[in-house]
Amino acid sequence: MSDKEVVEQLQTIVSIGDPKKKYTRYGKIGQGASATVFLGKDVETGQVVAIKEIKLRKQSRKELIINEILVMKELKNPNIVNFLDSYLVGDELLVVMEYLAGGSLADIVTEICMDEAQIAAVCRECLQALQFLHANLVIHRDIKSDNVLLGMEGSITPEQSKRSTMVGTPCWMAPEILTQKGYGPKVDIWSLGIVAIEMVDGEPPYLSGHPWRALCLIIANGTPALQSPEKHSPVFRDFLHSCLEMDVEKRGSAEELLQHPFLKLAKPLSSLTPLILAAKEAMKSIR
């Protein structure tokens, strides 16, 4: 599709009107290569929202955004960050999403040690989200701690991302993506396994060095290991193995893993609130 055709298609999807009359925009809360996220508020309802401003000229395949918006509008679930609204303003696409004040799981794993019961709680919520997406024939393709957002009460919702190209970050990518073979929803299960390692070790395997170095190491070494596996329970290690099985046919599905004994260890989501607060304090001291 040409840029003109993309814009014309988006105009049939987005809301009509001036977003400044609908939403008040506040400070920046996130920054990416082609998008900036701001805190906002619905003028009429007072609902706090996240407003993502996407610069279309920096998108290499703009037509993929159309599909992403259409899918996000259709999928509503308590376990995912839900789409609220969208506008086209000049060369910018504004996407309004739910706002979660707890930040991302990455804020916690880089600062705070999590116990297995807390890890089980996070994995359970993520698997419920993935079960919903996969049942609707949607593959997330970019599960990582940065994209797992938290409410202050401990609620966990993976941020939606459904591009159909080779997206994601190498450290979290399933081997079948890296080798450019055909793949399905179980790529998200592999990525969740890497997130579980993050919650234990504070970072994913092969993070040091050039990001794409991970590509070669994952393919060469197979299933990544914990830094100190002997410190963790057999049931947790078995859960990890089920997520990080190189053979896709043997890798667990979201539905299957929701029945795994490890998830029976899960604490209430409220147990994550002290971790969120501690991580926020730790980040303040760094700044």
**Known binding site: residues?**
52
Q: Which entry of 141, 213, 237, 251 is annotated as an active-site residue?
A: 141
CA distance 20 to 124: 38
Helices (H) and strands (E) in the chain, counts: 11, 7
CA distance 229 to 248: 23
User: Contact, 50 vs 39, CB < 8 A?
Assistant: yes
CA distance 2 to 62: 9
- Residues near 287 by Cβ (< 8 Å), separated by ≥ 6? none
CA distance 67 to 65: 5
Say which DSSP state 104 is in: B
Annotate 38-64 with three-state secondary structure.
EEEEECCCCCEEEEEEEEHHHCCCCHH
Q: Specify binding-site residues for ATP.
A: 52
Residue 141 is a catalytic residue: yes
Burial readout 41-53 (b: 16 or more C-beta within 10 A, e: otherwise) = beeeeeeebbbbb
Q: Catalytic residues, which ones?
A: 141
